[in-house]
Structure 1
Amino acid sequence: MYLKRFVELFIVYVISFALGSLIYGWNFFANYWFLILIGGIIGYIILIIPLTIMTIRKMTKRETASGENQPAQSRFSNVLAELPGNLYLATSDSDGNVSNSIVTYTQSEKQENVLYVVTDPKTKRAQNAVNHPQVAIASLYDPKLGTRFSSNQATVRVIQGKQAITELVNSTTALQGFDDNITNQAVLEITLTSAVIESFRDAPEVVKF
């Protein structure tokens, strides 16, 4: 809890205490216990309303920072939220040889069709992405309904260097705390132009961005 919150709570407490003390001093109530009850109820109301407002404001700020309150809560974002944070990433070299691997990803809080993958710059996928930005991805699936997504309409931008990655992390909440050694890694910024959502129950659905 920050100092600001302590100060806010102290101010609210002083106000509730002062109002309660004022009520105790009124003489038109004959019953002492009734005075205590009324003063306690009013003091509680004065205390709890500001606390509720401050809590709601804090939760709203947190949701906004994490992307939960962004307009990106569409069908695609909801599917991503239900699935494991891993996907299959297929890259190819200049000769057309395909390399496929399972990677951990995080979604941008600003653009739902942008995914980030942190990887060693020496990996085959990172080297392929530098020379051939066209990639394909496919998520793992939900074992209950088989919900999954895939896309072969995706391009990747490789971000390397401490300064460039630091600037990216500072402006991207999703990457903050994602990898402690991120400045020494390469960040693959995958941008989708469309994706296919499938399941055991529903027909394939094409989502365009």
Structure 2
Amino acid sequence: MYEFDFSSIPGALPILGAGLLVTLKLTGVAIVVGIVWGTLLALARLSGNRLLGTMAAGYVNLFRAVPLVMVILWFYLIVPTLLKDWAGLGQGTDIRMASALVAFALFESAYYAEIIRAGVRSVPQGQVNAARALGMTYTQTMRLVVLPQALRNMLPLLLTQAIILFQDTSLVYVIGLADFFGAAYKVGDRDGRLVELLLFAGAVYFVLCFGASLLVRRLQKRIAV
């Protein structure tokens, strides 16, 4: 029978805390960049411009059809060369972190683009026509009339996607980046207590994600019309 021993966890908390900060950094950057870039992609698809719409649709379909772990590996192999050649980064730069940030931001923007596009379409077309009749440009109509209302409709979905993103950051272990899951795995492997550390990591993920999902449900009830 396997005997559980969780005594190594207290001493590993500083390492696990540092890994959790890496996970939160990846999540935060991917959310901000993903929403900004995803908004531009969604507006391009809704603009009526065939060229912009085709390019945006191709981008979204490409990233949604490829596994995330493959995207992480792609950018891990490509981004270091680009950063060193274009930005002149030194040898001390953590290329793994930079490549992971780029991969998650660009990958998540494809999903945020579809959420935002659905949110924009949820706004009645009559309001868009009224804004254009008042002389507003396409940009003004989106910024002042459509997007503020669409944000209310799509906010729960945006937050839910953020929770999924937080879980997906554990995939950076494939490039050796010490996020929370990677740190737990390395400490468990070092101390010979891999089962205990992975159980602890799973419990932390569950508590954080389940708590966040409860907050999303509560928010959804408060903003529901």
Asked which structure has the greater RCO (Cα within 8 Å, sep 6+), the reply is: 2
TM-score of the aligned structures, taking structure 1 as reference length:
0.25
Higher gyration radius (CA): 1
Structure with greater helix share of residues:
2
Structure with greater strand share of residues:
1
TM-score of the aligned structures, taking structure 2 as reference length:
0.24
